[in-house]
Amino acid sequence: MKRRRADSAYRHDRTASHLLAEGGAFDRANVELVDGLVVKRATLRRSRERAETHFMLPALRDAPFEVHRIDRDGYYQLADAGAFAGKKVELIDGVLVAMNAMRGPHASAVMRLNRLLTAQLDDRVWVRAGLPLSVSRHSEPEPDFALVSDEAMSAAEEHPSTANLVIEVADSSRGFDLGLKALLYAAAKIPEYWVVDLQTQKLVVHLEPKKGKYQRVHRFGKGRDVTSTVTPKVTVKVASVF
């Protein structure tokens, strides 16, 4: 698990681009490699299309071209070929997002949460720490924690597609985790999403995903205890996380 930067897209080299093309990832699309990004050649995005791309990274959302989105199959193909050797990436809405090294406060919060969660849960709920969650064809984030039921684990061919509760620890990735990640998890109908905001020292709880957005967002400070609405055995004293 590593700290995420909201504006850092993983850049393909020519070898990675050729691997995707040979594997049929572009599906007859007329594409070209521009500064490490695969874009559709001679295609300008219409304003309506741009507005609907609400998961796209801020640096790419207003670009005058359409970035080719790869799916999980293309993502796995690149990984199997060693394209990410020595790098840490995750797939977000068809874009490969590079992740930076984790700093001390982030690591400390993760360790505290891991102890709290595993102490409270029985073996019917899996605590997946920093592991992939295949939430859609074009997205496979790796949240700091995903609490997954036995049923969802049993139904998963590779990685589970849903979780009862997803938790991200946010430092420099704060805007990403509270913005684009919240939209991503809401679209996947994850019923509850927590963000441990290291900058404000608050626990931000997202509830009721509907039409691609969480309808309720609550912020709890250090004096509060927070109990999950979906996994009621999980209660966290906010002060104990920081």
Each domain of the chain, given as residue ranges in start order, spans: 3-100, 104-241
pLDDT at position 83, please? 86
pLDDT at position 53, please? 46
Tell me the average pLDDT across 136-161: 90
Q: Are 169 and 113 in contact (CB under 8 A)?
A: yes
pLDDT at position 50, please? 41
Tell me the average pLDDT across 96-121: 91
User: Is the per-residue pLDDT at 163 higher than 70?
Assistant: yes
How far, in Å, CA of 88 to CA of 25, rounded? 21
User: Is the per-residue pLDDT at 49 higher than 50?
Assistant: no
Candidate from 39-48, 163-172, 183-192, 209-218 with smallest mean pLDDT: 39-48
**Is residue 47 very low, low, confident or very high in pLDDT (cuts 50, 70, 90)?**
very low
**Is residue 93 very low, low, confident or very high in pLDDT (cuts 50, 70, 90)?**
confident
DSSP type of residue 45: P
| Overall fold of domain 104-241 | tt1808, chain A (3.90.1570)
Sheet of strand 145-149, all strands in order from the earlier edge strand to the far edge:
125-129, 145-149, 165-170, 192-197, 202-210, 213-220
Which among 39-43, 88-92, 106-110 has the top mean pLDDT? 106-110
Output the pTM of the full model. 0.78
Task: Using alpha carbons, select from 55, 39, 125 the residue that is nearest to residue 90.
Answer: 55
pLDDT at position 177, please? 94
* Percent of residues, the chain, with pLDDT higher than 70: 72
Tell me the average pLDDT across 61-80: 79
Q: What letters, b where the CB count within 10 A reaches 16 and e where it falls short, cover 119-129? A: eeeeeebbbbb
Calculate the average pLDDT of the chain.
82
Higher local confidence (pLDDT), 183 or 53: 183
pLDDT at position 52, please? 43
Tell me the average pLDDT across 153-159: 80
User: Is the per-residue pLDDT at 46 higher than 50?
Assistant: no
Q: Are 101 and 107 in contact (CB under 8 A)?
A: no
Q: Are 209 and 191 in contact (CB under 8 A)?
A: yes
User: Is the per-residue pLDDT at 48 higher than 80?
Assistant: no
User: Is the per-residue pLDDT at 40 higher than 70?
Assistant: no
pLDDT digits (tens, 9 = 90+) for 209-236: 999 999 999 999 999 999 999 998 999 9
